[in-house]
Amino acid sequence: MVAADPMEFPGILRHLTEVKSTTVPVAWSRSARFGNHQLVLAANGAGAPRAASAVDAALQGFPAEAIVSTGFCGALAPELQIADVVVGSAISTGSRTFPALYPACPRMHQIGVVCSIDHVAQTAEEKRRLRSGGGSVVEMEAAGVAERAAALGVPFYCVRVVTDLACEDMANDFNRALRPDGHFATISILRDTLRNPLVRLPELLRLRSRCVRAARVLGDFIADCRF
Distance CA 216, CA 178 (A): 25
Q: pLDDT at position 194, please?
A: 87
Q: What is the pLDDT of residue 195?
A: 86
pLDDT tens-digit map of 151-176: 999 999 999 999 999 999 999 999 99
Helix (H) or strand (E) holding 70: strand 67-75
Nearest to 13 by CA among 38, 36, 30, 37: 30
pLDDT recorded at residue 157: 98
Quick: pLDDT tens for 12-24: 999 999 999 999 9
Hey, what CATH class is 2-223 in?
Answer: alpha beta
User: How far is the C-alpha of 222 from the C-alpha of 49, rounded, in Å?
Assistant: 25
- Of all residues in the chain, the percent with pLDDT exceeding 90 is 94
Rounded Cα distance between 182 and 177, Å, is 10
Beta bridge partners of 75: 137
- CB contact at 8 A, 6 and 184: no
pTM of the model: 0.96
Q: Which of 122-126, 161-165, 187-191 has the least mean pLDDT?
A: 187-191
Q: Report DSSP letters for 130-194, one per residue.
A: HHHTTEEEEESSHHHHHHHHHHHT--EEEEEEEEE-TTPPPSS-HHHHB-TTS-B-HHHHHHHHT
Per-residue pLDDT for 113 more than 90?
yes
Q: What is the mean pLDDT of the chain?
A: 96
Segment 90-117 mean pLDDT:
97
For the chain, which residues make up each domain, given as ranges?
A: 2-223
